[in-house]
Amino acid sequence: MSRPLVWLASFPKSGSTWLRFLLHHLFHGPPPTSAVLDVRMPSLHGDQEAPSDAVRRGGVVLTHKAAATHHARWPRGVATIHLVRHPIDVVMSDMRFFVMTQLQEWLRQHDRSNEAPAPEDVQALAQMFLTTVLQGRATPQRRELGVGTWDQHTQSWLDHSGTSITLRYEDLRRTPAVELRRLLDLLGLPVPEPRIAAAIAACDVQAMRAMQEREIAQRIPGRFYDPNHAAGYKAGLRFVGPAKMADFSLPAGVRQQLARLYAEPMAQLGYHLTDGRPPVVAPPSSLRKFTPLPPGVGLQVAATPKG
């Protein structure tokens, strides 16, 4: 049975997996494995993918593409959820993810496939990633997939027209019930407060990390385990990382360069990268506004989600 198509648009490492876990709990109940998440709330990124089934089924579907490349590829859907996160935390999380996914190939290229990764290997890949970001460039894969850089991607969706809502990761962390209610109001879903509270409790960072460690230990393929990332796991890297907010551990000079690169969308979102200023302030009131879907157009939620 088809449902209305709702896009979840976010730059990679902005919290989209966590939000999809929350929505899965609200719509379907707890997923038994992380792989189920990509079945019921799939992600479509590559141009070689055949998205017809996911698009035809509808529901919430994740895209990491910038708005123009996304709309050139896929239908608009009835609404868009735009999830954003402070760029300093995106860079830090993305850097760890890049190292985790590239470390095994790095060792192979250096004829060390049978060796454990050393701290120097992690540092070399991290520096490679950071250099690309500071040059205002996307990684080759991000360019190929039409994701672009953080500022390009974020601005494209801020300028997007149509029924949409912008959620900040920081607001979702601090007041999850308020932000989820805003999202459900957009979709016209009268979900009771106890179900929202249960979803928030079930999807905290500790619970997601526990699932992650279980799937890595048992080698269960899914969002958290990929055999091609074994070297990254040995180095202590994980998909679900520290989940920090305003991680200013990068040098001040690096932060200043990122602030110059990302100035315009940061200002629109209430983000700062300057010492002495709060990293996240209240966004402009216009960013909080949205128009709910007309009655009967939004998604439906089962009376009793069963997983």
Strand (E) or helix (H) holding 109:
helix 87-109
Angle of the 87-109 helix axis to the 150-158 helix axis, nearest 10: 140
On whether residue 129 sits in a domain, the answer given is yes
On whether residue 293 sits in a domain, the answer given is no
The token duo for 281 is: 């302030």
On whether residue 180 sits in a domain, the answer given is yes
Angle CA 236–240–244, to nearest 5: 100
The token duo for 170 is: 């920081």
Domain count, the chain: 1
Instruction: State residue 164's pLDDT score.
Output: 87
On whether residue 306 sits in a domain, the answer given is no
On whether residue 160 sits in a domain, the answer given is yes
- pTM: predicted TM-score of the whole model, two decimal places: 0.92
CATH code of the domain containing 225: 3.40.50.300
Integer Cα distance of 64 and 30 in angstroms:
24
The token duo for 81 is: 């959820």
| Structural domain boundaries enclosing 87 | 5-288
Q: Which of 24, 21, 20 lies closest to 9, judged by CA?
A: 20
- pLDDT per residue, tens digit, the chain (307 aa), is 468 899 999 999 999 999 999 999 998 889 999 999 888 888 887 655 555 677 888 889 999 999 999 998 888 899 999 999 999 999 999 999 999 999 999 999 999 998 999 999 999 999 999 999 999 999 888 898 999 999 999 999 999 877 789 999 999 999 999 999 999 999 988 889 999 999 999 999 899 999 999 999 999 999 999 999 999 999 999 999 887 888 888 899 999 999 999 999 999 999 999 877 899 999 888 888 888 888 777 777 666 555 5
Residue 206, number of CB atoms within 10 A of its CB: 8
On whether residue 301 sits in a domain, the answer given is no
On whether residue 228 sits in a domain, the answer given is yes
Please list the residues that pair with 167 across neighbouring strands. Answer: 83
